[in-house]
A = this chain, B = another copy of it.
Amino acid sequence: MSEKKRRAGASTDGPASSSKKPRPSAAASYAESLRSKLRPDASILVTLRSLASASSASSSKSKAAAKSLADHDPSADPASSYIVVADQDSASVTSRINRLVLAAARSILSGRGFSFAVPSRAASNQVYLPDLDRIVLVRRESARPFANVATARKATVTARVLSLVHAVLRRGIHVTKRDLFYTDVKLFGDQSQSDAVLDDVSCMLGCTRSSLHVVASEKGVVVGRLVFADDGDRIDCTRMGVGGKAIPPNIDRVSGIESDALFILLVEKDAAFMRLAEDRFYNRFPCIILTAKGQPDVATRLFLRRLKLELKLPVLALVDSDPYGLKILSVYMCGSKNMSYDSANLTTPDIKWLGVRPSDLDKYRVPEQCRLPMTDHDIKVGKELLEEDFVKQNQGWVKELETMLRTRQKAEIQALSSFGFQYLTEVYLPLKLQQQDWI
């Protein structure tokens, strides 16, 4: 039975439908007509297979995955122009801390006191590099001497954080930023101070925050054609029911990633995730489905990056058609500004914008009442995005954003529910995949 018939059938049970008959209208029947455009799944799978192998080929040609600062400008010494942190094992981080502290001790013994050279993480130091397609931090260090009224406190905090990180690494455990703060509330005063110094320490040691074993809390979940080990436990994500597997907070405990998926579907909201999980969309089109439930957290970004690097699969994104949806894509792709020094380890380049795109609203005839007017703030954010380099370099994105700003309309993924609760999984996404409709 078609969805339309089902809904029509259901409506006849309710007297209220008489007052609303004119509504399930032109848009709804057009939406249904799209169903007939769908080719058999086998034919769509051929498309997806070629997409997956193309992605794998281009990845191995270093493009997305291996693009590094060294490729950026071979003439310059990258280490001296930009701060680049990398994942380091505990032994290496520990020895870096030891070296830093020994230098300080020697300096003290020679009667010169001590001082840390701390990279500046100010906004003016954060630049977008178009050929790397991410935000990086320009190297510009400032001294943080202990023997100076202005910096004595901060130098103390820095030393304390170094010592705490050292203790965590020695125990082989992971802690949260909040735990770190609570080990010395009197010194840190408030958490924003220990957090900021933790970022400083990352830059000073040249290693990622996850290498320091200080982890963010997790929000993300994953289901689909993926098997991995979380702290040694083998997780089969096709057998995680509707709830899915919570993405682990500590990426360094993730190993043994295997998959027969053809693509990764990155979803903004958990409502859409739930629909996809319940309909076991990944069994129809082999894929890995993940969501951070809104603003991406560090754990989910690290996890996505690992998947992309190891599996070399294309990443397709399903986000709301509003500036915020695009902003979320930008965080996955280019990083957030306040962690620009870690952008290489947190970002997943080359994510395709599958939907819901501003042009989809008319293309799929999303009813007028399911679109929302953009607020002044939305329009402001949209205009700012148009100025962002990462948007500018993709003409398709510029056009979509211009469409959004011209029509002043936005819509959530859920707006597709107006054609039936399963329209997303039964018509919209399959048709998108069939038509390779991503940019």
Contact = CB atoms under 8 A, between A and B. Distances in A.
Interface in A402-427: 412, 414-418, 421-422
Nearest to A253: B242
Contact of A241 (B159, B164, B231, B243): B231
Interface in A5-21: 6-7, 9-11, 13-17, 19-20
Contacts of A241: 229-233, 235, 248, 253
How large, as a class, is the contact surface on chain A? Answer: 35 or more
Contacts of A174: 242, 274, 278
B231 A159 contact: no
A350 interface: no
A13 B105 CA distance: 9
Interface centre among A20, A179, A215 (most CB of B within 10 A): A179
A293 B246 CA distance: 13
Say how many copies of this protein the assembly contains: 2
Interface in A136-192: 155-156, 158-160, 162-164, 166-168, 170-171, 173-176, 178-187
A387 B415 CA distance: 44
B17 A163 contact: yes
A167 B10 contact: yes
Interface in A196-250: 215, 217-218, 221, 229-235, 238-250
Contact of A182 (B108, B184, B229, B412): B412
A369 interface: yes
Contacts of A230: 240-243
Contacts of A363: none
A324 to B, nearest CB: 15
A217 B270 contact: yes
A398 interface: no
A400 to B, nearest CB: 21
A418 B162 CA distance: 16
Contacts of A271: 176, 178-179, 217
Interface centre among A108, A178, A253 (most CB of B within 10 A): A178
A111 to B, nearest CB: 14
Contacts of A218: 243, 270, 274
A386 interface: no
Contacts of A164: 10
A345 B251 CA distance: 37
Interface stretch (A43-51, A57-65, A96-104, A327-335): A96-104
Q: Is the interface of A mostly helix, strand, loop or mixed?
A: helix
Contacts of A37: none
Given A15-B101, A167-B6, A246 B221 contact: yes
Contacts of A9: 170
A13 B97 contact: yes
Contacts of A242: 174, 230-231, 248-250, 253
A320 to B, nearest CB: 11
A9 B166 CA distance: 10
A182 B239 contact: no
Given A13-B97, A163-B10, A182 B414 contact: yes
A114 interface: yes
Interface in A72-99: 97-98
Nearest 3 A/B pairs, CB to CB? A230-B241, A16-B159, A243-B248
Interface of A: 6-7, 9-11, 13-17, 19-20, 23, 97-98, 101, 104-105, 108, 114, 155-156, 158-160, 162-164, 166-168, 170-171, 173-176, 178-187, 215, 217-218, 221, 229-235, 238-250, 253, 270-271, 274-275, 278-279, 293, 367, 369-370, 412, 414-418, 421-422
24 contacts: A6-B167, A10-B166, A13-B97, A13-B101, A14-B160, A15-B104, A15-B108, A16-B155, A20-B160, A176-B271, A178-B271, A178-B412, A178-B414, A179-B275, A182-B412, A185-B369, A185-B415, A186-B369, A232-B241, A241-B253, A242-B250, A243-B248, A243-B249, A244-B246
